[in-house]
Amino acid sequence: MRQKLKDWMLPIAMLGGAVFHNWIGHLTFLSPYLIFMMLTITYCRLDLNKLRLGRFHIALLCAQMLFATLILVALQPFSHTLATGLFICVFVPTATAAPVITGMLGGSIGHVATYSLLCNLIVAATGPVVLAAIGDHPEYTFLESFRRICTSVMPLLLVPISVASLLSYVWRRGHDYLASNQSLSFYLWAVALFIVVGSSVSFIIRNFDLSHVWLIAALVGGSFAVCVAQFAIGRKVGARYADSISGGQAMGQKNTVLAIWLALTYLNPLASVAPAAYVAWHNCINSWQLIRCHRRQQHAACK
């Protein structure tokens, strides 16, 4: 029963957010804190001394950033909102729950955890520059945008590493508890999904305009294409290093909570439709993979 609940937790969270979107406004302030806690729990499991970057991680990172750049350059002439919305779906780092899902599917937790850390560091370092350059806040100069984004994004992504390291020295029991209970991150992720999906649905309803229908459809359809492409590219790159599962999850499973928050805060809020739809697409893929894996395990046990 617990396994079945876990398999369906993400779709339930998304459906709940959509149904109760009218009340989500009172909870949106929790999003940055949930991201912070998820990252801290994930980093508690990492032994920074044992993390080893390899060709697997460099190849995935190059593929991710190249794909993000191609999307931005190709779509910018047609629609800035569409380009930035789909760009943010690719640019953001791997989901904090990706190592957990990867482990359930039989992939390498170490590979994905290392890539997640690398990705978070790269986004923390380059995000302020990128978001300041493509953001939709003409009232701010580039330097003012850069300063604002730095003060909000960098601490959110980098401080959890320091907190996890500090816990290992000052409260080892608490650190080890978080390290051995990574499913906490999964459940926090479900709560965060509930909130961000509800926030996105509320935004779309409040700002619905017939003139935006085609743009919204393009953002939703484009996010599906981008999601499938990222899982496929990740699996293809991973297969070259005998770990297609980890490659697919590392590149396809995104920190959509962070993506939606960044889009709502620094881009045209309408661009958040793309990462909001990506929530549904990549979690549907994850749920399908988990159910399929669970059925395979049951079949193997029966044999």
pLDDT at 299 over 60: no
User: 48 vs 118, which has greater pLDDT?
Assistant: 118
Q: How far apart are CA 90 and CA 191, in angstroms?
A: 22
The Cα–Cα gap between 82 and 195 comes to 23
Residue 76 has pLDDT above 80, yes or no: yes
Please give the distance of CA 265 from its chain centroid, rounded to a whole number.
Answer: 16
272, 86, 43: which is closest to 175 by C-alpha? 43
pLDDT digit string, tens, across residues 4-48 = 666 677 778 878 887 887 787 778 778 778 878 877 887 787 666
**3-class DSSP assignment, residue 60:** helix
Residue 154 has a pLDDT of 67
Cα–Cα distance, 198 to 202 (Å, whole number): 6
Structure confidence at residue 7 (pLDDT): 60
Digit-coded pLDDT (tens) for 130-187: 887 887 666 666 677 667 666 766 677 678 878 888 888 888 888 888 888 777 877 8
Helices (H) and strands (E) in the chain, counts: 13, 0
- Taking residues 216-238, what's their average pLDDT? 93
pLDDT of residue 300: 58
Instruction: Report the CATH fold assignment for 2-302.
Output: Na+/H+ antiporter like fold (1.20.1530)
Residue 257 confidence (pLDDT): 75
In sequence order, what are the residues at sequence separation of 6 or more whose Cβ sits closer than 8 angstroms to the Cβ of residue 295?
none
Mean pLDDT of the chain: 81
Report the range of poorest mean pLDDT among 11-20, 59-68, 198-207.
198-207
**SS3 of 113-174:** HHHHHHHHHHHHHHHHHHHHHHCCCCCCCHHHHHHHHHHHHHHHHHHHHHHHHHHHHHCHHH
Q: What backbone phi and psi angles, to 5 degrees, belong to 181?
A: -125, 60
Q: Which residue has the higher pLDDT, 201 or 10?
A: 201
pTM of the model: 0.77
Per the CB < 8 A criterion, the answer to whether 166 and 230 are in contact is no
Specify the pLDDT at position 232: 93
Considering only residues 80 and 95, tell me which one the structure prediction assigns the higher pLDDT. 80
| Mean pLDDT, rounded, for 83-104 | 84
